[in-house]
Amino acid sequence: MQFRVADTADIPQMMLVRLSVTENRLSNPSFISEEDYTNYLQNRGKGWVCEEDGKIHGFAVVDLLGNNVWALFVDPAYEKKGIGRQLQMLMLDWYFKHKDEDIWLSTAKGSRAESFYSISGWEQAGLTESGEIKFIMTKSVYYAARQLKSL
């Protein structure tokens, strides 16, 4: 498997991965458009994909303007292979090279993602208006965890 920077040609496959997940599903698949992906990749931040034989199995997108993780998803058939962890590391390495501010994300309560982020060192910071758990990662916590290789 290869990890690389995402580009707009990857968007159709990224959208397929996003729609394949069994947790944190979109209630309305048309809620996030191809234009949204393009905006985040070209104007707001950067993305990465995990690819094998021309097929994308996972992707992550960080929003530099909003200081948040816009997306981190792995095809359910490829879970537990370290894809999410590697994508998270690429994304956070890049983010903290460009920003000193904390980064945040949100995810559904009781999801595997909640456990993944807790184990990775993200700190819970309450709930969002929609009832999801909000997590925060500081630069110092990230680099400490990175040195301990717990990410």
| 3-state SS, one letter per residue, for the chain | CEEEECCHHHHHHHHHHHHHCCCCCCCCHHHCCHHHHHHHHHHHEEEEEEEECCEEEEEEEEECCCCEEEEEEECHHHCCCCHHHHHHHHHHHHHHHHCCCCEEEEECCCCHHHHHHHHCCCEEEEECCCCCEEEEECHHHHHHHHHHCCC
pLDDT digits (tens, 9 = 90+) for 117-140: 999 999 999 999 989 999 999 999
Instruction: Give the per-residue pLDDT at 104.
Output: 98
Maximum distance among all Cα pairs of the chain, rounded to whole angstroms:
40
Q: What is the CATH number of the domain that holds 128?
A: 3.40.630.30
pTM over 0.85: yes
Instruction: Give the per-residue pLDDT at 30.
Output: 67
Instruction: Give the per-residue pLDDT at 145.
Output: 83
Q: What does each C-alpha distance from 13 to 8, 58, 64, 73 come to in angstroms?
A: 10, 9, 23, 12
pLDDT digits (tens, 9 = 90+) for 13-66: 999 999 888 776 666 666 788 999 999 999 999 999 999 999 999 999 999 999
**Chain-wide mean pLDDT for the chain?**
92
Instruction: Give the per-residue pLDDT at 26.
Output: 62
Instruction: Give the per-residue pLDDT at 27.
Output: 62
* pLDDT score of 4 more than 70: yes
Inter-axis angle of helices 83-98 and 139-148, to 10 degrees? 130
Token pair in block for residue 142:
């990230």
Instruction: Give the per-residue pLDDT at 28.
Output: 61
pLDDT digits (tens, 9 = 90+) for 91-119: 999 999 999 999 999 999 999 899 999 99
Q: Which domain holds residue 32?
A: 2-148
Question: Residue 116, CB half-sphere, CA atoms under 13 Å: how many?
Answer: 21
Name the domain count of the chain. 1
